Each structure stands twice: as C-alpha cells, then as structure tokens.
Structure 1
C-alpha cells in the first residue's frame, strides 16, 4: 500500500450511451455581406434566392439574415445549375430537391451495400 491520495475523477455527464459524451458546438453563422463576398453575388440576388427557397437563411436577434457556413457552396451550385442547364430560378428549386433526394437514395444504397458504382450528382 502507498501513501498517495486517490486520484479525483471528473463528474460523469449524462449520456444515452454508455461511456459516450456529446458536446454541443455552436455553428458559426455568416452574415449576408460575408456570403455575398464569398460567393461573388449581389446581396439582392441572394435575398431573392432566400425568398425562392433556393438557399436557407434565418434571422438573427436583430432581424438580419444569417446563413450556414455552407451557403456559399449552395449558391455556387445554384449558379452552376442555372448556367449549365439554362433553367429559370423557379425551376431550380425542383432540380435541387430532386438532386438532394437522389443523393439520399444513393447513400442509402451504399450503406445497404447494394451498389457502389453510382456516380455523384453534385
């Protein structure tokens, strides 16, 4: 036996799984000006995309539009589809929804081991 004191253990966090701890990490949001600068688009055009539902945004405490960090990539995808397929903005919503649905179905097939040779549709 030694005369060393016992090590203090940190308090246990409540979890739903044994031995797993989760941390809630806030996602940094981007302002309209930052998204416009990063995407190279005019803020009015971005507001139009938000109104059409082509890109997601929400208001902050003061009512300004705030975007997820993925918004510039989503805007680039919208622009790429518009120029590549010559679609109007209203049609882009449908195409984006279909592409997202295809991606979900492909991911489900890959998880199930059904097909791994599917091309990415992004």
Structure 2
C-alpha cells in the first residue's frame, strides 16, 4: 500500500456535456415550440431573433434549436424594446448589449462598496 492518496478522477456518469459546456447536473433546455408558446411569439419570429443574435440558442444532437430557461424573458425584453421604443432590430441588439454592460458595471460597483456613487434611480 502506498502513502500517497489515490488520485480522484471524475466519474463519466456524473459529467454530462451540454453544448460546449460541461455540467455535473444536466442543464434543462427548452424547445423552440415551448419558448414560442411561453413568450407568445410565432416560432418563425423566434428563429429570426436567433439569427439576428438577439436571443441565444444552441443546437441539440438532432440539429433542433434549444434554449436556456431564461429565453422567454429575453424574448419579452426584445419585444418590449421593439414595441415600447419603436426600435429596429439592429438598435435592439445595441441596447441589449449596453443594458448588459450597465448591469455588469453596477454589480462591480456593488462588490467594490461604492454604490453611493450611483444615481438614486438605479
């Protein structure tokens, strides 16, 4: 018997591949039909939003679009920007990128403890 501890190896049964990511627990995904139904949009419009890069989707082993559970909320955000501000799709992409960047910066400020520098409406 050796004094060295045995090397721990990950069990292939516990690690599953989801797209290009690896997870210990399988990540639930939604089909195109489910996302379209939950968001109240036609599946062709959802496909268009994916093609434009406004919502993220991956392909399963059969080549069908699959979405994260947050996709209906992202689609609702796109629709609100489209109808509420009358933005075209290129503008929506830019606004979404800016809103994501603002969220990251606000989170960094909160972690740094300098939240008092933010305006009162944030």
1:91: which partner in 2? Answer: 91
- Divergent runs of 4+, >6 A: none
Question: What's the CA shift string for 1:14-38, capped at 9, x where partnerless?
Answer: 7xxxxxxxx8221110000000000
In the TM superposition, residue 84 of structure 1 has moved relative to its aligned partner by 1.4
- RMSD between aligned residues: 2.2
1:107: which partner in 2? Answer: 107
1:50: which partner in 2? Answer: 50
In the TM superposition, residue 52 of structure 1 has moved relative to its aligned partner by 0.4
Question: What's the CA shift string for 1:49-103, capped at 9, x where partnerless?
Answer: 0000000001100000000000000000000111111101111001000000000
* 1:36-47 correspondence runs (5 A): 36-47=36-47
> Matches of 1:73 and 1:25 in 2, distance apart?
23
TM value normalised by structure 2 = 0.77
Residue aligned with 1:66, SS = strand
Gaps of 5+ in 2: 1-7, 10-22
1:25: which partner in 2? Answer: 25
Bigger proportion of residues as strand: 2
Gaps of 5+ in 1: 1-12, 15-22
